[in-house]
Structures are given as C-alpha cells and as structure tokens.
C-alpha cells in the first residue's frame, strides 16, 4: 500500500528548529521538512543545488553578493550549487527542501 503523507501531522511533530526530517525519498533525492526560526549559518553546497519551498511562514535567504531571496507561503527558490547562502526567518516557518539524499544539510 502506498501511504498518503500528511504534512500537517509532520509539521506538528517537529519541535526543534533547524533539524530537517526526511519525509519522502524519490530515487536518489529526498524531500525534507524543517521548522526554521531565527538565522542559520552562512554555508555553501559545492556539489548540489538546494530547493526551498515555503509551506507556512516567511523566510529570507541571504545570498552572498546578490539581493536577498524573500519567500512566502507557497513560494520556492533554487539556490545553485556553489552559492554561499544563509536562510533565516523572523518567526516559525515550515519549509520543504528537495535535495540529494547524500547531502549533509549543514553545508560546508
């Protein structure tokens, strides 16, 4: 049986910001759900792009030497590999990230 994934239930279960939870695996990719609140750290992924999709809330992805990327409910952006970035949120926000399963979420 193929289960339905109830994202709201998954969101309700997350207690710790910046601790992504694997929601689904698609081939060599993984869909991760995270609660973000506050600022992460500046980092780069040298071998893979990173997709951010905002389920609930608002986030800002600060990008080195480029304008900030501001995302609201239902919006997404792809940060290309090699681009230094720093996500942040001024309040609790839930995001989905679609990325290679081998990616260590903390970046370099």
DSSP letters spanning 19-31: --EEEEEETTEEE
pTM of the model: 0.89
Q: Locate the domains of the chain by residue range.
A: 7-100
Q: How far apart are CA 2 and CA 98, in angstroms?
A: 20
- Choose the CATH number for 7-100 among 3.10.20.30, 3.30.420.40, 2.60.120.10, 3.40.109.10: 2.60.120.10
Q: How far apart are CA 21 and CA 76, in angstroms?
A: 18
Q: What is the pLDDT of residue 104?
A: 65
CA dihedral over 17, 10, 73, 42, signed as positive or negative: positive
CA dihedral over 23, 16, 73, 54, signed as positive or negative: negative
Instruction: Divide the 108 residues of the chain into consecutive groups of 10 and give the mean pLDDT of each group.
Output: 94 93 94 96 91 97 96 97 96 93 63
């Amino acid at each position: 049986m193929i289960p339905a994934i109830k994202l709201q239930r998954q969101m309700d279960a997350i207690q710790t910001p910046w601790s992504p939870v694997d929601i689904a695996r698609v081939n060599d990719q993984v869909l991760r759900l995270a609660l973000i609140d506050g600022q992460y750290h500046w980092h780069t992924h040298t071998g893979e792009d990173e997709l951010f999709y905002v389920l609930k809330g608002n986030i800002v992805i600060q990008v080195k030497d480029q304008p900030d990327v501001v995302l609201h409910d239902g919006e997404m952006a792809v940060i290309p590999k090699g681009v230094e970035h720093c996500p942040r949120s001024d309040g609790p926000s839930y995001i989905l990230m679609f990325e290679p399963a081998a990616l260590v979420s903390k970046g370099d």
